[in-house]
Homo-oligomer: A and B are copies of this chain.
Amino acid sequence: MGVKNRYSKMLKRENLRNTSHRQSILEVMEASKEPVSAETLYLTLRDKGISISMSTVYRALDVLVERNIIAKTDFTDNNRSLFEIKREEHRHHLVCVKCKKIIPVTECPFHEYASALEERFGFSITSHKLEMFGYCRKCNKDSDEK
């Protein structure tokens, strides 16, 4: 099954119209390794020759977050929200504080820790986010050379 068809099904399942803009947005997000901002999305689409307005980008992001197809990340690119498509595996991120590169990591070591907390606080955890900040290989090297 093609990617487009998969998106159609997702949208239909959620009772959302299968518009070309939503298709394009999902394609760009699927292709992107890193979380993207609304503006990046907008510019990327325009570069691809797609005419779309910012309102539409924001509205599509909202509804897709609401329907659990994409996620708003909890770290921001100075006060600008970032979004990523939900993949099968959940992810954590290594965020380089210098060059802003974001490396996704799929291992998650938190299950036991989480159940201990659930018990202790009577809290049901439905999701979690872990971000790690520091210096990537390249930025480490650059500062060595100084």
Residue ranges of A at the interface with B (Cβ–Cβ < 8 Å): 74-76, 79, 81, 94, 96-97, 103, 105, 107, 109-110, 112-114, 117, 121-137, 140
Contact A105 B131 (CB under 8 A): no
Contact B132 A131 (CB under 8 A): no
Contact A117 B105 (CB under 8 A): yes
Chain copies in complex: 2
28 A–B contacts, CB within 8 A, in A order: A74-B131, A76-B76, A79-B81, A94-B117, A94-B121, A97-B126, A103-B123, A105-B117, A109-B109, A110-B130, A117-B132, A121-B136, A121-B137, A122-B136, A122-B137, A122-B140, A123-B132, A123-B136, A124-B134, A124-B140, A125-B133, A127-B132, A127-B134, A128-B130, A128-B131, A129-B129, A129-B132, A130-B130
Contact B109 A123 (CB under 8 A): no
Q: A81-B79, A113-B107, A117-B105 are in contact. Are A133 and B128 (CB under 8 A)?
A: yes
Closest to A72 in B: B76
Residues of B within 8 A of A121 (CB): 94, 103, 136-137
A127-B134, A128-B133 known; 16 new pairs, CB 8 Å cut-off, are A74-B74, A75-B129, A76-B76, A107-B113, A109-B113, A114-B132, A117-B132, A121-B137, A123-B132, A123-B136, A124-B134, A124-B140, A125-B133, A125-B134, A128-B130, A128-B131
